[in-house]
């Protein structure tokens, strides 16, 4: 597996885990105020991280903070940016940033924040089920909201 293929799998993993954390959350969850920042603010930050990843991959390191929109809008943004990033990685276009830097910076940060959202689901009284992610059906290119069903939840 090439570095680029592994990175695409990482992006698909972020889509799978992020999708699980945001899918099925009650409407009130977006504004849950029991852990510092609200879930919708964290999801907007994940969107900013993905925007930054795309800009760096195209040659610009400019960071931009966005204003959080609705939970549905930020959820769509999450999957749209992952789809855009995967398409760039699947193309023959040269990347203007090293993959290892994109991983250690914005992508690792996004994975951390997905974990925060998952933890906040439990704190807000809407826990998601645990899962054996080793056996999850995650594959490069599957980065939209249409993720496979969990293979082994507990």
- Structural domains in the chain? 3-135 (1.20.120.450)
The pLDDT, as a whole number, for residue 35 is 78
Q: What is the 3-state secondary structure (H, E, C) of the chain?
A: CCHHHHHHHHHHHHHHHHHHHHCCCCHHHHHCCCCCCCHHHHHHHHHHHHHHHHHHHCCCCCCCCCCCCCHHHHHHHHHHHHHHHHHHHHCCCCCCCCHHHHHHHHHHHHHHHHHHHHHHHHHCCCCCCCECHHHCCCCCCCCCCCCCCCCCEC
Model's pTM, two decimal places?
Answer: 0.96
Q: Are 119 and 130 contacting, i.e. CB atoms less than 8 angstroms apart? A: no
Q: Are 145 and 19 contacting, i.e. CB atoms less than 8 angstroms apart? A: yes
The pLDDT, as a whole number, for residue 144 is 97
Q: How far apart are CA 46 and CA 25, in angstroms?
A: 17
**pLDDT (tens digit, 0 to 9) for every residue of the chain, 154 residues total?**
999 999 999 999 999 999 999 999 998 999 999 878 999 999 999 999 999 999 999 999 999 999 999 999 999 999 999 999 999 999 999 999 999 999 999 999 999 999 999 999 999 999 999 999 999 999 999 999 999 999 999 9
């Amino acid at each position: 597996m090439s570095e680029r293929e592994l990175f695409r799998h990482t992006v698909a993993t972020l889509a799978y885990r992020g999708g699980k954390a945001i899918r099925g959350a009650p409407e009130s969850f977006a504004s849950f105020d029991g852990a510092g920042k609200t879930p919708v603010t964290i999801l907007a930050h994940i969107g900013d991280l993905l925007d930054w990843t795309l800009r760096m991959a195209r040659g610009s390191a400019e960071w931009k903070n966005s204003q959080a929109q609705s939970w549905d809008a930020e959820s769509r943004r999450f999957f749209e940016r992952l789809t855009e990033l995967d398409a760039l990685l699947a193309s023959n276009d040269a990347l203007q940033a090293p993959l290892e830097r994109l991983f250690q910076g914005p992508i690792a940060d996004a994975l951390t924040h997905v974990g925060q959202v998952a933890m906040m689901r439990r704190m807000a009284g809407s826990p998601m089920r645990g899962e054996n992610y080793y056996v999850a059906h995650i594959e490069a290119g599957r980065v939209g909201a249409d993720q496979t069903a969990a293979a082994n939840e507990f």
